[in-house]
Structure 1
Amino acid sequence: MKRSCKVQMRPLGLDNGSIKTAAEIISLSFASDPLIRWLSRDRSGPGWETLTPTLQQWQEARLREYAMRGIAMEAVSMDDAHRSLGSCFLFPPRTLYRWMNPLWWPSCRIGIMMESHNDFEERIKKKYPPNSLYYLEIAAVRPDTQGMGVGRTIMQWVVQNLGDNPCYIECTDKNNVAFYIKYGFELVEETELVDEEDAMPPTTLFYMIRDTSKLKK
């Protein structure tokens, strides 16, 4: 069993080094994610764990955009090294955003994913007062520090900053649903993404809501 480590949250810097590190953490964290593998054009080729220059450039570009529009945080060790171990991007109530589409992901699959995202967001927003629904876009931890309390620190920060505001996430891996439930999120909907022109089995998005009051029916 891994030992826990002392971690603290701090705003993610916009300097090249901070963005680069966050991009690497997210790529490694989601390397085997079912949605990422489903989106891939060449599933027999290298995955996100290879940290190719093209992938790194794309990750850095989208994270820089996220950091400008949302609340970007990183989890760092509390020792002298202050090593970055995880990151999260929380979006306050906002309008729909565009997805930066890398060339190695077929546009049709991006469209299928975004159609599901936009449909759920449009429906769920109607259940809450205007400008009250948050969206947790990313919560990622370095794979070599999983089980050491980094994810717990990130989610405790998220919950504290949400206060009584509702928040939703799209969990892309069924194995992680139970983790989010521990922090007050409830699984409210499952959506299967199917590319009828591709032999790849479908993948599933698990939509979860955190609401301090009972979810309106």
Structure 2
Amino acid sequence: MGKPTPIEVREATPADQPRVVATLTRAFAEDPVVAWIFPDPPVRARRMPRVFDMFFAGTAPPGMRLVTPDCTAATLWHAPNTPEQGGLRAAWRIWRAAGSAFFRFKRIGDAVEAHFPPQPFWYLHIAGADPAHQGEGLGAAVVQAGLDRIGNATAYLETANPANPGFYAKLGFRVRDEWDVPGGGPHFWSMIRPQN
């Protein structure tokens, strides 16, 4: 038996946006954070594509949008020292995407930012694989491709899925903190891959 064929990963283009949004919507359909923000499944199904459209559009260079060739797995990375634009424009984008769940969405975002590490880091904001293709190594390949691109820089993420800390540990991340979103929100694990 020969070696398995390496999984190709490339930069996403604007033309990939609809497929990436569809993949991430399926990947996060039962995610604890998304389910808490949008507890009603029909509302969740309607709002999630808008949220992932916003996230894709907001991950512009120097950040990275990495995908497998058919967009069945994707990651969205923010570069160090590039905070997302705040203020009224950001609030309006979130309101358009989240609708009446705006305040839950904002509570999650505020809690996430409060737990960011003090040093500069590459932020793995979103990583997901289509459920129909999970277990094929696509998610690990697309995350590893991002880690390869950033070299020895610090990488950081958070997850509320209890299955994920073990997955990310295999890619060099370690749990930095555990915390809960105030007001009955989900439990999170903050994970960091320290600078080499």
- If the TM-score is normalised by the length of the shorter chain, which range does it land in? 0.7 to 0.9
The structure 2 residue matched to 1:157, chosen from 135, 142, 145, is: 145
Greater helix share, structure number: 2
Does the Cα contact within 8 Å between 1:67 and 1:89 map onto a contact in 2?
no
Question: 1:47 and 1:146, CA in 2 relative to 1: closer, same or farther beyond 3 A?
Answer: farther
**CA-CA distance at 1:183 after TM superposition:** 0.8
**Cα distance in structure 1, aligned partners of 2:178 and 2:102:** 22
Match of 2:103 in 1: 108
Q: Structure 2 matches for 1:1-217, cutoff 5 A?
A: 7-15=7-15, 18-40=16-38, 43-46=39-42, 48=44, 50=45, 52=46, 55-68=48-61, 70-76=63-69, 83-97=70-84, 98=86, 100-101=93-94, 102-121=97-116, 124-125=117-118, 128=119, 132-195=120-183, 202-213=185-196
Unaligned runs of 5+ residues in structure 1 are: 77-82, 196-200
In 2, distance between residues paired with 1:107 and 1:47? 13
Query: Against the structure 1 CA distance between its residues 189 and 73, is the aligned structure 2 distance closer, same or farther, given a 3 Å change threshold?
Result: same
Moved more, 159-168 or 139-148: 159-168
- Aligned identity (percent) is 19
CA distance in 2, matches of 1:104, 1:5: 43
Deviation at 1:156, TM superposition (A): 1.9
Aligned residues of 1:172 and 1:204 also touching (Cα < 8 A): yes
Answer with 176-185 or 60-69: which moved more.
60-69
Q: How far is 1:22 from its partner? A: 0.3
Change in Cα spacing, 1:95 to 1:10, as seen in structure 2 (3 Å) is: closer
CA distance in structure 2 between the aligned counterparts of 1:57 and 1:118, rounded to whole angstroms: 21
Q: Normalization by structure 2: what TM-score? A: 0.83
1:141-182 deviations in whole A, cap 9, x for unaligned? Answer: 111000011012112212211211011101121111100001
Q: CA deviation at 1:34?
A: 0.3
Closer, same or farther: CA 183–103 of 1 in aligned 2, 3 Å: closer
**Gap runs ≥5 in structure 2:** none
Q: Measure the CA separation in 1 of the matches of 2:83 and 2:134.
A: 31
RMSD: 2.2
> Structure 1 length normalisation: TM-score?
0.76
* Partner Cα distance (2:174, 2:37) in 1: 26
SS of equivalent to 1:84: coil
- What secondary structure, in the 3-state scheme, does the structure 2 residue paired with 1:88 have? strand
